[in-house]
Structure 1
Amino acid sequence: MDEEFRQRLEQLESRVALLERNQDLIAAGQRRSSLRSLWRRPPMWTFEQYPPRLLNLTAFPRTPAIHPGAPRIAMVTPSYNHAQYLGATIDSIVSQNYPDLYYHVQDGASIDGTLDLLKRRGDSLSWSSEPDKGQSSAINLGFVGAESEIMAYLNSDDVLLPGTLAYVANYFIAHPRVDVVYGHRVFIDREGLEVGRAVLPPHDGKALRYADYIPQETMFWRKRVWDRIGPIDESLHYAMDWDFILRAQAAGFKFARLPRFLACFRIHDAQKTASTYAVGVREMGILRRRILGFEPTQMQIRRAIAPYLAKQLAYHYAYKLGILRY
């Protein structure tokens, strides 16, 4: 082998080694970027986690036997021009066949066919359609005169999973000191296809002061909470559920995260959560200043909820790997 050929071979080997090293660095950077992205957008707030697939209701636990002393549950659905989703919402509640249920749809004078739908379903629920001051106002109107031990509201594009009412009622009976409950959620698209799931760790009152992680569509509370802290704040149009939760926590009511998927949160283009985000940022700032006494920076918020997010990631992957089952 002549000297010139040997030198060229060494140069080639060096370039290959350098290329391999750069590939390793790029891969490591991609992994770190992926981890940073996962940390910035944890699974519980990542709606579209995988391609749409059929929601297999038979894969969830069976409906438990209903306790003979089942408490009366009052549920309200605020609605406005959601005829394309409202039928599924109504069916998901009525099909629970819960023996002592008051269910009311409070519609804001829709003009999209909602009235015809409600007239057809009138035998299975109560309803009214009249102008209101927004979602918070509709929820409060819907609960007027409702007598019950347990309360909840389900928006007109979300759905309950089978057995939810029986499971929640049995839990409240078995845990008389618990006042507010919520559970895991499923994300569905506009067609009702599953696109993600959120498995939550146990309740964390400290993290809740900085960020609302409770899935509203899965939340139920005892009427004594409503009687004590008052109704939904009608001045809020985005963060009214977090406001209600924070007031309940400040009043000393006990929360519990239930080990079960309870409801589905629907993702679609006209969704209020997406279209009024600026309003939400302002309202969440108001609530943080009220509960904390100051307005935290984004860094302070991330640091405060970091332990909870770490637990959520652990629960998420433990569920994906089959270590946790619900």
Structure 2
Amino acid sequence: MQALRSPAADGGVAATPARTGDEIRVSVVIPNYNYARYIGDAIDSALALDWPHVEVIVVDDGSTDGSREVMARYGQRITALHQDNQGQVGACNTGFAACRGNVVIFLDSDDVLDPSVVREAAAVWRPGISKVQFQMRSVDADLVPHGSVFPQYHHVPTPGEVRRWAETTGTYPTPPGSGNVYSREFLQKIFPLDHAGGRASDSCCIAAAPFLGDVFTVPKPLVSYRIHGKNDGAFSELDTLRFGREVVRATQLFAYTQRVAAGAGVQVTHEALRYSLTLLPYRIASYRLAPAAHPLLRDDRLALLRDLLEGWQRPQGISLPARAAISLWALLVLLSPTPLATRFVLWRFAPATRPKLVMQSLRGLGVVR
């Protein structure tokens, strides 16, 4: 493995910024906690990247399930770090402090990278990039595809569009952690992370990216995203209280977004998040299925419908058919009897549970591909 760092002024080490694809030195940081069943696949995919300059750093965050034995099998092909349990944020902080690349991928230990993911990022890389984002394919615990990919980029956004959408709604179409390739120059502006975005380490990185650099989008599924029932971000069954927790997390993250934007000279208004069509389904599901625990006291059927109408009119990277589908879904959930509303919510958040006819209809309308 080539050395990726050069001496810094303080006697430490500093990564040379990547200016073109040829200068990219990749660090894949894999935080892990009790995913012994999956972590081998993640490590294998990182080691198999079709790129000459890659280091793989695995941070075990106090696992008790045999993960460390799996890691030990790789010997010196990886850098294995062990620490007491600090959560995903703490594990990513440890991994980032140890890594040497000028381009960084935070790979969840149950996800799998395609070999070409760095080649695809290098093809669009240029100065000023904060991240390159890809689509992800949903797979089951055995890596069998569910047949769906996300996000659905009906229109491939420019960096300027991503920035405007983040300004007007606090959100933009983005994959979670493993679907992003970050510039070290960007990450150095926000690390070490705190828990402003909740337990997930990717939240703050994703929220800050449009305001501290350019976000480039490659509309290809280049990462496999496992849905196995224990994911922090994926749904395989219905947990009615989880929607409220997601709303709280999004609200906290939005406050972080406002602070980062303000530091970059951009004002993101307090009401912007109300009109996010990404968050609105979580608000509706929380209000409808667990009203006593719903965290936003101002929400009722009329307020949610008003925000839906305003959100419809605000550009945020969602196609007209997709906006129509969200609106129809919202009406059905808000107005249907609880058992039926529950079924609609499940179909929305767990794509693998959708009836074939529903999937065919969504594909026919161009809502999903």
Q: Common fold, TM-score beyond 0.5?
A: yes
- Alpha-carbon distance in structure 2 between the residues aligned to 1:289 and 1:222: 23
SS at match of 1:244: helix
Runs of 4+ in 1 over 4 A off after TM superposition: 274-278, 304-307, 311-314
* 1:157-236 aligned within 5 A: 157-172=110-125, 175-195=126-146, 196-198=148-150, 199-200=152-153, 201-203=155-157, 204-208=162-166, 209-211=169-171, 213-215=173-175, 216-236=177-197
SS at match of 2:22: coil
What are the Cα deviations for residues 155-193 of structure 1, in whole angstroms up to 9, with x where unaligned? 011111121122223432xx3343311012111111110
Q: Retained in 1: the 8 A contact 2:132–2:216?
A: yes
User: Partner letter of residue 202 of structure 1?
Assistant: V
Match of 1:79 among 32, 38, 47: 32
| Residue matched to 2:221 | 261
Q: CA shift at 1:121, angstroms?
A: 1.4
Q: CA shift at 1:238, angstroms?
A: 4.2
| Residue matched to 1:101 | 54
SS at match of 1:213: coil
More divergent stretch after superposition (176-185 vs 108-117): 176-185
Change in Cα spacing, 1:146 to 1:127, as seen in structure 2 (3 Å) is same
Q: CA shift at 1:152, angstroms?
A: 1.6
Change in Cα spacing, 1:81 to 1:257, as seen in structure 2 (3 Å) is same
Q: CA shift at 1:89, angstroms?
A: 0.8
- Alpha-carbon distance in structure 2 between the residues aligned to 1:223 and 1:74: 10
Structure 2 unmatched ranges of 5 or more: 1-19, 259-267, 275-279, 281-303, 324-358
Q: Retained in 2: the 8 A contact 1:239–1:283?
A: no
| Residue matched to 2:317 | 308
Instruction: Give the TM-score of the pair, scaled to structure 2.
Output: 0.60
Instruction: Give the TM-score of the pair, scaled to structure 1.
Output: 0.68
SS at match of 1:111: coil
- Alpha-carbon distance in structure 2 between the residues aligned to 1:118 and 1:239: 22
User: Partner letter of residue 153 of structure 1?
Assistant: F
SS at match of 1:281: helix
- Alpha-carbon distance in structure 1 between the residues aligned to 2:21 and 2:80: 28
| Residue matched to 1:285 | 251
| Residue matched to 1:272 | 232
Q: Retained in 2: the 8 A contact 1:210–1:304?
A: no
Q: CA shift at 1:72, angstroms?
A: 0.7
More divergent stretch after superposition (212-221 vs 136-145): 212-221
More divergent stretch after superposition (237-246 vs 278-287): 237-246
- Alpha-carbon distance in structure 1 between the residues aligned to 2:80 and 2:251: 35
Q: CA shift at 1:309, angstroms?
A: 1.8
- Alpha-carbon distance in structure 2 between the residues aligned to 1:312 and 1:159: 31
Q: Select the structure of larger CA radius of gyration.
A: 1
- Alpha-carbon distance in structure 2 between the residues aligned to 1:73 and 1:312: 38
Report the RMSD for the aligned CA atoms in angstroms: 3.1
Match of 2:207 among 241, 246, 251: 246
- Alpha-carbon distance in structure 2 between the residues aligned to 1:234 and 1:289: 12
- Alpha-carbon distance in structure 1 between the residues aligned to 2:142 and 2:248: 31
